[in-house]
Amino acid sequence: MKSIVIQSIVLIFLLGIFSSCDKNYVEPKPVIPGPAGSTGATGTTEVWNISFNNWILPNIFNNASKNCAQSSCHGGTFKPNLTAANAYNSLFETALTGKPVDTVANAGAPENNLLYQKVKSGGSMNDKLPQASYADSILLWLQQGAKNN
Amino acid sequence: MNLKFSRLVLPFVALMLSGVCLHAQDTTAVAEEKPVKDKRPVKNAFDSNWLINSQTMVVPTRNTLEFDINHRFGPLKNGVKDMYGLYAPSNIRLGLTYTPMNSLQLGAGMTKEKMMYDFDVKWNPLPQTRSGSFPVFITYFGNLVIEGGENSVNWTLPDISGNDSIVNKKFPEYTDRFSYFNQLIIGRKITDRISIQVAPSHAHYNLIDTMANKGIIHDNFAISAGGRVKFYGEMSIIFEYFHPLTPAEDIKPNFGIGFEANTSAHAFQLFISPYTYIINQRDVVFNKKDPEFISDYSIGFNVTRLWNF
């Protein structure tokens, strides 16, 4: 009887321990590339609420100097179509390579989205971005739920 | 007269002779029985729950309440400026343990550094027996430590209108305050004067900061060894070595040596050691003081008071 009590106490203690066992990291403060004219020594600003239509689209996908949506590229030739009229819906379309943005499948892990995988440092599209670090703002947009805002 | 004397003395002589005969029979009977093994745990393998910064393999007897005062002064390096750390900022733990049944001890404590609350269990299912039928103590010690203190803000991100939209706090979730320590203590009372123990250990942190501590991981392993040598009465030399097996960058091992004096209800330990966090997992995972340099050592003491109910 006594050994059962002892074992129960130890078991409850161990269960209590391992049920709350976790593996988290202290998150670094993200550096968000800001829109043109933003302040900051490195040309960045700390602005939350990434707007797809007012920031992602004009500054990244349809940037005047480095435009993803050229007719020979993502302007209709390759998916996703990143022209202003089609970009948002096209990012959610099922393509041969899968959905570039799939908030359902990657909920809680936006960094696994195909879009971010392509544009992040080391991704095949990273050097096509107007600034390589703009991938961070795409990740933030994904983390905020990839809204059509 | 002689007859009277004979009447008095002879029965005594007869009784004594018969006693001798009976004694001889007893001796024969005992010699034929198998010796009974004494399976009770050996007594006083250590006289305290503490061995400098670690736990000993012993669990006090049932219904023992123990009050602990653990104190670590500042490092010796400032010399007389702060009297070798005696007047430097120090770390203190106050704790209580209770043994509700033989071989199981439950405890809790509070530590000043980072206001840590610890909840402990020590279980000794296999004690060294007096007959030697089981040669060592095998004891489990585990704790859950909750880091208290303010949940301060690490950084914020304002939204487009300048309001804080995202606030990153030191502990994003409550369980990020938790850390754990598990230890298997294997030891032996070799003689009445000498006891030693070895303890493989595991320390887990729910939240780690890889930017502030390069190479830090969630699950850390270490091994320690220590012992006690009584040199006069209830006075002993105590020592301990703790070696992290999976250290992050600049994390150092520990060596501590000191003096212990005991009474039936008290244990008093005075020692020097680089480890000053008192909480085992913090010492193992975060200590950067180097035992190779005497200036990194600190004076510390443990005092325990026992009550038996």
Residue B230: its pLDDT value, please?
A: 94
Q: What percent of chain B has pLDDT over 70?
A: 85
Residue A93: its pLDDT value, please?
A: 76
Token output for B204: 């887990």
Residue A42: its pLDDT value, please?
A: 39
Q: Do residues B295 and B274 lie in contact, with contact meaning Cβ atoms separated by under 8 Å? A: no
What whole-number distance in Å separates Cα of residue B47 and Cα of residue B70?
A: 16
Count the alpha carbons within 13 Å of A53 in the hemisphere toward its beta carbon. 6
Nearest to B159 among A24, A27, A48 (CB): A48
User: Nearest CA of chain A to the CA of B164: how many Å?
Assistant: 9
Residue A2: its pLDDT value, please?
A: 64
pLDDT average, residue stretch B206-219? 91
Better pLDDT: A118 or B72? B72
Q: What percent of chain B has pLDDT over 90?
A: 61
Q: Do residues B77 and B66 lie in contact, with contact meaning Cβ atoms separated by under 8 Å? A: no
Return the minimum-mean-pLDDT range out of A60-69, A134-143, B209-218, B239-248: A134-143
CB contact under 8 A, A25 and B208: yes
**Per-residue confidence band for B21, with pLDDT thresholds at 50, 70 and 90:** very low
**A28 to chain B: nearest residue by CA?**
B211
Q: How far is CA B3 from CA B6, B7, B9, B15, B75, in A?
A: 5, 6, 10, 18, 91
CB contact under 8 A, A10 and B173: no
Residue B65: its pLDDT value, please?
A: 94
What whole-number distance in Å separates Cα of residue B290 and Cα of residue B275?
A: 9
pLDDT average per 10 residues of sequence, chain A (149 residues)? 68 68 82 49 52 83 88 86 88 64 66 84 86 80 80
Which parts of chain B are beta strand (E)?
Answer: 50-51, 54-55, 64-75, 91-101, 104-111, 116-126, 137-147, 153-158, 164-169, 178-189, 194-205, 207-208, 219-232, 235-244, 254-262, 266-273, 298-308
Q: Which residue has the tokens 């209770």?
A: B98
Q: Phi and psi for B67 in degrees, rounded to 5?
A: -110, 130
What whole-number distance in Å separates Cα of residue B50 and Cα of residue A109?
A: 45
Q: How much is the mean pLDDT over chain B? A: 86
Q: What is the pLDDT of residues B140-199, one digit of tens each?
A: 999 999 999 889 888 876 654 556 667 888 899 999 999 999 999 999 999 999 999 999
User: Nearest CA of chain B to the CA of A144: how many Å?
Assistant: 11
Residue B217: its pLDDT value, please?
A: 93
- In 3D space, the residue among A82, A76, A89, A78 whose CA is nearest the CA of residue A59 turns out to be A82
Residue B23: its pLDDT value, please?
A: 45
Question: For chain A, what is the radius of gyration of the CA atoms?
Answer: 22
Residue A37: its pLDDT value, please?
A: 41
Q: Do residues B278 and B266 lie in contact, with contact meaning Cβ atoms separated by under 8 Å? A: no
Residue A104: its pLDDT value, please?
A: 55
Chain-centroid distance of CA B69 in Å reads: 13
CB contact under 8 A, A26 and B160: no
Q: Phi and psi for A25 in degrees, rounded to 5?
A: -125, 150
Return the minimum-mean-pLDDT range out of B15-19, B55-59, B195-199, B304-308: B15-19
- In 3D space, the residue among A93, A115, A107, A100 whose CA is nearest the CA of residue A144 turns out to be A107
User: Is the confidence metric ipTM above 0.95 for this complex?
Assistant: no
Count contacts between A and B (CB, < 8 Å).
79
Token output for B161: 């209108």
Residue B271: its pLDDT value, please?
A: 95
Total-model pTM: 0.69
Residue A36: its pLDDT value, please?
A: 45
Residue B218: its pLDDT value, please?
A: 92
**Per-residue confidence band for B221, with pLDDT thresholds at 50, 70 and 90:** very high
Return the minimum-mean-pLDDT range out of B11-15, B82-86, B256-260: B11-15
CB contact under 8 A, B154 and A17: no
Residue B15: its pLDDT value, please?
A: 42
pLDDT average, residue stretch B284-309? 91
Residue A105: its pLDDT value, please?
A: 57
Residue B242: its pLDDT value, please?
A: 93
User: Nearest CA of chain B to the CA of A116: how many Å?
Assistant: 21
Q: Do residues B169 and B149 lie in contact, with contact meaning Cβ atoms separated by under 8 Å? A: no
CB contact under 8 A, A20 and B178: yes
Q: What is the DSSP letter of A59?
A: I
Burial (CB count <10 Å: 0-12, 13-18, 19+), residue B41: buried
**A15 to chain B: nearest residue by CA?**
B144
